[in-house]
Amino acid sequence: MKTKKANILRQASNVDLWLVAILILASLLYGWNIWKAGSANSFYTSAIISMSESWKNFWYGSFDPAGFITVDKPPVSLWFMVIFVKIFGLHGWSIVISSVLFSLGSIFLIYKMVKPYFGAMAARLAAFLMTLTPIVVADARTNNMDATLVFFLLLASFVLQKAVKKHSLWLVSLAFALIGIGFNIKMLQAFMILPAMYIFYWLASKDNCKRTLRGSLLATVFLIVFTLAWPLAVDSVNKNNRPYIGSSSDNSVLNLAFGYNGTQRLLGQTTGTGGTFTGMGNSKKGGNHSKATAPQGRKNLQKRGRNISTKGKFNGSAKHNNGGGNGIFNVGTAGITRLFQAALGQQISWYLPLAIFGLILAYLAAYERQKKWWQLNRRQEQLIFWAGWLIPVAGFFSIASFFHPYYTIMLAPPIAVLAAVGISSFIESLDTSDIGRKGYWIKGLMAAGITTNGLLQAFFVWEYSILAGIVVVVVSVTLSALIIYHRLNNKVSILTGLVVLLFIPAFWSLTPTIAAESAAIPTSGPSLLSKNDQNSNPIGNSSVNTKLLKYLNKHNGSKVKYLFATTDSNTAAPYIIKTKKAVMAIGGYNGTDNAISLKKFKRLVKLGEIKYFYISNHTNNNSIVRWVKKHGKKISSSKYSSNNPNNSTLNLKSSRHAGAQKFQHKARTQPPKNHPMKFHGNRRKPQTHAGKMNGNFSNQQSNALYQLN
């Protein structure tokens, strides 16, 4: 009994209270106010509801309860969300709680990976920097897949680290199998760290070449098997017996993986284009809020002053250029400086200069004179791994054409680790008596990292607060000068100075929590704190025209399978969430998928499975829409339209674009009352993309409801 009690006390004494404090802080940042999440990303929320209705929908990741079409990603991440919904019921918090938990798990894994090689101080600092990375906070509060993916990539890296230490081929195989699972979370995005994993395994493995080669081959087999298991299983099923694969061009998971979620992310979108779409209900507190009268799911892209378009162009600020390639989304101008521009930098790059200089500093500090340059120690091997994660991913986001800013969460782990390791290596160097030339290099690199990091932070915050920008420059330059001239030579004084440089990114990280942000397009920044005059809606109440819903429920017959059919998933999503009934989105997410032929559609109408078709604004003028207009009976709008401001928008152009533009001007030019920082107005000119349509789309087309039989 005494031995057991002693073991418990020993284990308790080994708990790092600093890590516990960091995890508590992260829990508050990620979890506070998630009960106000509303529908979060309504596109995926409707899939969660549909997947909870049947095992078939669960397996395929069906968007609608009838299993007509899938979402644009594999279902693994959604599986976790469905499990929580089945256990706790459908609530705003239950659809995002898995992202919160996976984000906390990522912080813990970073700590566990860093501590054995760089010590407790570096591990704590890495976990802390990860916690206070703004886009990590924003992503953790949504039901998107990115937080889940990052956790599985870190778990794979952690297992690989253990595999090398224990000389275990099976652990190596497990590590690469986890990457395969990551593929079935967000497809080729999971493969971005594969070069780092292969290089690290070959450099760090102390086994002979034959055994290392055998381990690599076995790991690759596991990678392939776990990667292709779900896609091949789905593609092998007769296409008439499963949902259409949303956002693919040929109803194939592999086409989705290597096309829309693969090469197009780098080169630009070539399928499913044709218009400036308005996203997945990106709205205040996860709800979908607008004022007017008819169904529209592709709305609320104007999130507190941002013109967010999830499938088209982001016409955000005049100051921050619209990306490279196809200029999709607000991702800055493609090139080597993209991550240092405000568009992406304000979300992910707050510690990037420290990470770059920290990598060089830590590698130099770990260098051992008695060894040849190619003879690496454990610390250098770890640094190469994290550099192998950082460099290719940063390179991709610097040149890619088709991605959302919140995808940059992929950069958060290596940036946090390398910045922390650089700082801790510098502090360790102060305790060594052998300074010499290497010591001067280390001090110079630390000073350069702090100065450039301060200048970058000042650039990010300048448009909001000139005073804050000046303060951070003065602090960083002063701190660097004290380091160079040997005035800072102890851990406490250095860490105290660095804490000042964490104030602004910490504030940025707080904004999603304070604003109860759980948007489909997660972001962070002071503009979130501008008061919106709309209240958050409970889950299932956003974007739903109750008068239309009553009309459909009254006039749909008993044979009807679909509440109504419409052009795209985002118009359909709020009604699926509200009613848990099937709504057919013939064009999938964009409204451009060829998910059903006109012949098959007419047959379903004849069978009585579809009675009503809603033609939304920005509709693809395809054969089905033309047939509906020609043969359907147009219902008078007075029978289903409503002027209730709690209902959704009928005239998207007048209410969504104009209203959001007005709000954008308010959000960008007026500082919030009682704000922790005193902001000067953003000098950007608000823009709207209303009227900018391409291909076969026309925003002049009016919304209309048609009866088909």
Quick: pLDDT tens for 144-195: 999 999 999 999 999 999 999 999 999 999 999 999 999 999 999 999 999 9
Element (H, E) at 19: helix 17-31
Quick one: pLDDT band at residue 6, thresholds 50, 70, 90?
A: low
The answer, yes or no, to whether residue 453 has pLDDT greater than 60, is yes
- The residue-averaged pLDDT of 113-132 equals 98
Alpha-helix residue ranges (DSSP H) falling in 236-281? 253-255, 264-267
Quick one: pLDDT band at residue 121, thresholds 50, 70, 90?
A: very high
pLDDT at 700: 41
Task: Output the six-digit token pair for 675.
Answer: 């704000």
Can you say how many angstroms the Cα of residue 638 is from the centroid of all Cα atoms in its chain?
A: 40
Rounded to the nearest 5 percent, the helix, strand and coil shares of the chain are: 60, 5, 40
CB 667 within 8 A of CB 305: yes
Q: Is 40 left (phi over 0), alpha (psi -120 to 50) or beta?
A: left
Report d(CA 548, CA 571) in Å as an integer: 13
CB 409 within 8 A of CB 139: yes
Quick one: pLDDT band at residue 496, thresholds 50, 70, 90?
A: confident
Q: Of the given ranges (454-468, 570-584, 618-632, 648-662), which has the lowest mean pLDDT? A: 648-662
Torsion angles phi and psi, residue 584, rounded to 5: -85, 120
Percent of the chain with pLDDT over 70: 78
Give the other-Cβ count within 10 Å of 553's Cβ.
Answer: 11
pLDDT at 274: 41
DSSP 69: B
Which has more confidence, 73 or 668?
Answer: 73
Which has more confidence, 542 or 335?
Answer: 335
Report d(CA 128, CA 151) in Å as an integer: 16
Report d(CA 591, CA 589) in Å as an integer: 6
Taking only the tens place, the pLDDT of each residue in 326-377 is 345 789 999 999 999 999 999 999 999 999 999 999 999 998 776 777 789 9
- The residue-averaged pLDDT of 657-668 equals 35
How many Cα atoms are found within 13 Å in the side-chain-facing hemisphere of 79? 11
Could you tell me which residues are beta bridge partners of residue 566? 585, 614
The answer, yes or no, to whether residue 658 has pLDDT greater than 50, is no
Q: Of the given ranges (83-92, 165-174, 220-229, 637-646), which has the lowest mean pLDDT? A: 637-646
- The residue-averaged pLDDT of 465-488 equals 90
Contacts of 353 (CB under 8 A, 6+ apart): 449, 452, 453, 456
What is the pTM (predicted TM-score) of this model?
A: 0.86
pLDDT at 375: 84
The answer, yes or no, to whether residue 435 has pLDDT greater than 60, is no
Can you say how many angstroms the Cα of residue 706 is from the centroid of all Cα atoms in its chain?
A: 37
The answer, yes or no, to whether residue 556 has pLDDT greater than 60, is yes
Torsion angles phi and psi, residue 143, rounded to 5: -105, 30
Task: Output the six-digit token pair for 176.
Answer: 């690469």
Task: Look at the block and give the residue holding tokens 């309860």.
Answer: 65
Task: Output the six-digit token pair for 108.
Answer: 């813990």
Quick one: pLDDT band at residue 677, thresholds 50, 70, 90?
A: very low
Q: Is the dihedral of CA 244, 246, 247, 252 positive or negative?
A: negative
In 479-611 the beta strands, taken as DSSP E runs, fall at: 565-566, 584-585
Report d(CA 588, CA 568) in Å as an integer: 5
Report d(CA 669, CA 277) in Å as an integer: 26
- The residue-averaged pLDDT of 457-467 equals 95
Number of H helices, E strands in the chain: 27, 7
Report d(CA 297, CA 703) in Å as an integer: 13
pLDDT averaged over the chain?
84
CB 149 within 8 A of CB 408: no
The answer, yes or no, to whether residue 63 has pLDDT greater than 80, is yes
CB 560 within 8 A of CB 609: yes
Taking only the tens place, the pLDDT of each residue in 225-276 is 999 999 999 999 999 999 999 999 999 999 999 999 998 888 877 665 543 3
pLDDT at 643: 59
CB 48 within 8 A of CB 82: yes
Could you tell me which residues are beta bridge partners of residue 613? 565, 706
pLDDT at 542: 62
Quick one: pLDDT band at residue 492, thresholds 50, 70, 90?
A: confident
DSSP 256: I
- The residue-averaged pLDDT of 554-571 equals 93
Taking only the tens place, the pLDDT of each residue in 198-217 is 999 999 999 999 999 999 99
Which has more confidence, 549 or 540?
Answer: 549
Cα separations in angstroms, 139 against 96, 145, 147: 10, 9, 6
Element (H, E) at 51: helix 42-51
